[in-house]
Amino acid sequence: MSATQYDVIAIGNAIVDVMAPCDDALIERLGMTRGGMTLIDTARAHELYDAMGPAREISGGSAANTLAGLAALGARCAFIGQVADDQLGEVFAHDIRAGGIAFDTPARAGDPPTARCLIFVTPDGQRTMNTFLGASQFLPPAVLDEAAIAAAKILYLEGYLWDPEEPRAAMRRAIAAAKGAGRKVAFTLSDAFVIERHGADFRAMIETGDVDILFANHVELAALTGHDDFEAGLAELAPKVPVLVVTRGEHGAVAIQEGNRAEVAAEPIARVVDTTGAGDLFAAGFLHGHVSGRSLANCLTMGAIAAAEVISHYGARPEADLKELVLSRLG
């Protein structure tokens, strides 16, 4: 097997979170559901963005958040995702590259614009979110850098992006490139609604050995296996995938690797501020442990440390020194 250029290369939604303070009157005037999350179209995205006051723009997206955590831990990372040739596309590209992550997917000309989640924050801290998936849904197979995929230890795929047709085809091609080079494929199920729509695809990928590391939470495990009982779900899925990782929120996480089982409790935290990105950063910690050759239990602990850090503040990207947190906990 040839030398690797990256520890992890990921394919996912390229989204920019745009956050701005507002009053309740603006929420009402714009006809938004206070405290909710709504998927919006291009026209509505332009309307809401124009109505926002001074905003803070933070790059997001599930797989991109995971890479941000991995890079903060010292991993060599690359991202494949679609932005448009516009201001927010430039913001996303700048942020991810500033985090030490390679990003070379060409920007897409014209509409739809770059994906964004427009977040209106009222004085009580309540967040009203409006998500426009935009250009991220139009990642064509032709833009894949198959040489980069073949040069990464792990290809990490975001389940959210399996829904639209073009990125789904791109991810299938990426799996073939990774497998052809003898690399591992990690997959995160992302959400139960994705499993409802594409569970047959995911089960087939698992059965045929396309997935080496599978990430799920307890709700997604139940949706994929049809077992509400947690242990029954584990018993069905674990023999079919080399590494199964299942998070359980405040109850910690379980991993099973070729019959060996490890469990960890959630890391103690003074106050949960914002759970956005908890699963993304858990995957980052676990994958860094995995590519570093750590034990299964230590991989889980690294995931728990990274998740605890990200839920202690607003935003889905790490702010504290993850390397130092891991070092002080595990050495």
**pLDDT digit string, tens, across residues 54-103:** 988 888 899 999 999 999 999 999 999 999 999 999 999 999 999 999 99
Share of the chain above pLDDT 90, in %: 74
- pLDDT the model gives residue 36: 80
As beta bridge partners, residue 216 has 246
Set out the domains of the chain in order of their start, with CATH numbers.
6-13+62-109+138-330 (3.40.1190.20)
Please tell me the pTM assigned to this model: 0.91
Average pLDDT of the chain to the nearest whole number = 93
What's the rounded mean pLDDT across residues 264-290? 88
For CA atoms 74, 150, 10, 282, give the dihedral sign.
negative
- pLDDT the model gives residue 121: 84
- pLDDT the model gives residue 19: 85
Give the type of residue at 279. G
pLDDT of 254 strictly over 60: yes
- pLDDT the model gives residue 1: 56
- pLDDT the model gives residue 285: 97
- pLDDT the model gives residue 216: 96
Rounded-to-10 torsion of CA 318, 290, 199, 16? 20
- pLDDT the model gives residue 316: 74
pLDDT confidence band for 287 (50 / 70 / 90) = very high
Among 92-106, 166-180, 190-204, 268-282, the minimum mean pLDDT is found in 268-282
pLDDT of 258 strictly over 60: yes
Our CA angle for 234, 12, 173, nearest 5°, is 85
